[in-house]
Amino acid sequence: MKYFLSGDSLADASADAVVGFVFEEPNSAAAELWDALTGGLAGELFARGEFKGKLHSTARIHRPAGMQAGQLLLIGCGPQEKFSSVLLRECAGVAGRALRASGARSAAIQARGEDAVRAVVEGFSAALYEPDCYKTGSERSSPTLESATVLAPSAQRGALERAVAAAEGQRFARELANEPGNILPPRVLAERASAMAAQAGLACEILDEGRIRELKMGALLGVAQGSAEPPAIVVLRYRPRGTQDAGGVHLGLVGKAVTFDTGGISIKPSAEMDRMKYDMAGGAAVIGAMQAIAALRPPAPVTAVIPSVENMPGGGAQRPGDVVTTMSGKTVEVLNTDAEGRLILADALTYAQRQGCTHLVDAATLTGAVVVALGYENSGVFTNDAAWQERLLQAAAAAGEKMWPMPLDDAYAALLESPIADMANVGPRWGGAVTAAAFLKHFAAPLPWVHLDIAGTAWYEEQKPYAAKGPSGVGVRTLVALALNAAQPS
């Protein structure tokens, strides 16, 4: 799929289909424009109530009288006052899926301004992903779309390049998250990341089990010991060229990559356990973001740490009640082996600190409790530093990813007290997403840190009008936006 810019108008654009965005109850100027482009057909659709601009609705006008293109695809955007960058990405996605189904080879898309160019390209691209890579027959989707031209001036080239890079990173993250546990154990995840790094021009170091042992990452090793698959930690390093001013910022991105989470000895119920192949979506998001960061070359250095294990109940598995010593030296009583994400992240956060990172963000499918709190709509955001969190929330808003701040005051840390070790790995039943974050906080301090719990957002449970059911690639665009702005004083 190729993306181009063109200064053509909607009337002059030559493509199999031109995509136009229409608000519910368009103002008279907009209504006149669509009428002029379609010889009055658009107005007729409105008058008959066949198309009202309702959010995610579509209408096609073939051979529009006032246009070069063979088809005008109208996408309803809902009421103008409720419109947002999230919704523009969705609407571009609705267009992408409609065109992919119609067999169009080329599309031209309306976009006004830098933010719109990014939203349109990112939304359109995201919609074209299908998770059917293991279908062998004719059912497997074979996209016909070859190019999309964004109708915007050439001054938007930077926005287009940024969007394409972010979209490719997001696609890579989804491909990784979609892989089943048998095909993508930690070793293979590391190979995929290192192949990407070689292509993208990133330094990549894989810490194997021996090295992990030397580093005394007892919490991560405790999780890994129940599986026949050895653990691996992927370390990706982006360093800016020359002497750009990074403002003293060295960004550390940490992503949970449990390639399959059975729960270990505290085993999960079998219903829907298959879903736990996406328990590496945080790591995948970080890897995808690093691919885009390598292409976009922000001024601040970025180090990514992706701890990867398989959480299995093998004969050597850790037991509830085991005590492990983390790389930081702190000890943990493992009361529940299914709370494994925080154990591997603890050691990865310590490692990121020792690499000289000044600011940390982690992304993890960490708790079912965050899904109880926020459903499938928003990722949960936790922090020990309000200013750093504000930077992340701004990046998320600009990237069109919905994220919601959650509390994390000291009272939650008290819920993790253990009579035998420095802390337990689980607290009481309620507030589980917050106690999980409170656990991580011990290992992020004293650095400013934000934790993203993406358990509810990393997987679309249902097909969307703008996306296939399956991995969402959430987090990639926010992390890329954050990296691009990290060096700027807040």
Chain residues in the site for ligand BES (CB under 6 A): 261, 279, 336, 338-341, 365-369, 426, 432, 455
CA dihedral 90, 94, 95, 97 (to 10 degrees): 130
Picked from Mn ion, ligand BES, Zn ion, none, the partner binding residue 368 (CB below 5 to 8 A depending on kind) is: ligand BES
Distance from C-alpha of 355 to C-alpha of 368, rounded to nearest angstrom: 31
Nearer Cβ to Zn ion, position 76 or 307? 307
Tokens linked to 53: 């601009």
Token digits of residue 205 = 């170091």
Alpha-carbon distance values, 478 to 60, 129, 188, 333, 397 (Å)? 33, 19, 26, 34, 8
74 binds, options Mn ion, ligand BES, Zn ion, none, Cβ within 5 to 8 A by partner type: none
Report the C-alpha gap between 60 and 73 in whole angstroms. Answer: 5
Pairing between β-strand 459-460 and β-strand 322-325 as defined by DSSP bridges: unpaired
Q: What minimum distance in Å lies between the beta carbon of 340 and Zn ion?
A: 6
Q: Which two tokens stand for residue 338?
A: 């299914």
Say if residue 273 is exposed, middle or buried (CB neighbours under 10 Å; 0-12, 13-18, 19+): middle
> What does 426 interact with, of Mn ion, Zn ion, ligand BES, none (CB < 5 to 8 A by kind)?
ligand BES
Given the rule CB under 5 A, which of 237-245, 247-255, 275-283, 463-471 is the region that contacts Zn ion?
A: 275-283
From 130, 279, 385, 453, residue interacting with Zn ion (rule: CB under 5 A):
279
Residue 333, interface with Mn ion (CB under 5 A)? no
Contact 18, 67 (CB under 8 A): yes
Looking at 95-103, 178-186, 335-343, 468-476, which segment touches Mn ion (CB under 5 A)?
A: 335-343
Q: What tokens does 24 get?
A: 């519910």
Indicate whether 338 belongs to the interface with Mn ion (CB under 5 A). yes
Region near Mn ion per CB under 5 A, out of 99-107, 261-269, 448-456, 470-478: 261-269
Determine whether 40 is exposed, middle or buried from the number of CB atoms within 10 Å of its CB (0-12, 13-18, 19+). Answer: middle
- Here the tokens at position 211 are 């090295």
Name the active-site residue from 213, 216, 237, 268. 268
Surface-to-core class of residue 240, CB atoms within 10 Å of its CB (0-12 exposed, 13-18 middle, 19+ buried): middle
CB of 267 or CB of 397, closer to Mn ion: 267
CB of 264 to Mn ion, least distance (A): 8
Q: Is residue 122 within the footprint of Zn ion (CB under 5 A)?
A: no
Residue 107 backbone zone (phi > 0: left; psi -120 to 50: alpha; other: beta)? beta
CB of 302 to Mn ion, least distance (A): 28
End-to-end CA distance of the chain: 36
User: Is 118 known to be catalytic?
Assistant: no
Q: Least distance in Å: CB of 132 to ligand BES?
A: 22
168 binding partner (options Zn ion, ligand BES, Mn ion, none; Cβ < 5 to 8 Å by kind): none
Contact residue for Zn ion among 226, 283, 341, 448 (CB under 5 A): 341
**Is-catalytic flag, 268?**
yes
Cβ closest to ligand BES, residue 147 vs residue 336: 336
CA 98, distance to chain mean position in Å, is: 23
Beta carbons within 8 Å of 12's beta carbon, 6+ residues apart: 68
Cβ of residue 300: shortest distance to ligand BES, in angstroms? 30
Segment lying near Zn ion (by CB under 5 A), choices 210-218, 341-349, 373-381, 387-395:
341-349
User: Taking contact as CB under 5 A, which single stretch among the options 79-87, 172-180, 204-212, 333-341 is the one that binds Mn ion?
Assistant: 333-341
In the complex, the smallest distance separating the C-beta of residue 310 from Zn ion, rounded to whole angstroms, is 11
Give the separation between CA 315 and CA 227, rounded to whole angstroms: 9
Nearest residue to ligand BES, using CB?
368
Contacts of 45 (CB under 8 A, 6+ apart): 51, 59, 61, 74
Quickly count: other Cβ atoms within 10 Å of residue 230's Cβ.
17
* Closer to ligand BES by Cβ: residue 340 or 347: 340
Closest distance of CB 254 from Zn ion, Å: 15
Strands (E), 144-223: 147-151, 203-207
CB of residue 172 to ligand BES, shortest distance in Å: 20
Q: Which of residues 124 and 412 has its CB atom nearest to ligand BES in the complex?
A: 412
The residue from 97, 174, 277, 342 that is catalytic is 342
64 or 264: CB nearest Mn ion: 264
- Which residue among 122, 130, 261, 362 contacts Mn ion (CB under 5 A)? 261
298: left (phi over 0), alpha (psi -120 to 50) or beta: beta
Q: Are 53 and 78 in contact (CB under 8 A)?
A: yes
- Footprint of Zn ion on 255-274 (CB under 5 A): 258, 261
* Residue 261 CB, nearest approach to Mn ion (Å): 4
Residues of this chain that bind Zn ion (CB under 5 A) = 258, 261, 279, 341
Residues of this chain that bind Mn ion (CB under 5 A) = 261, 338, 340
The set of catalytic residues is: 268, 342
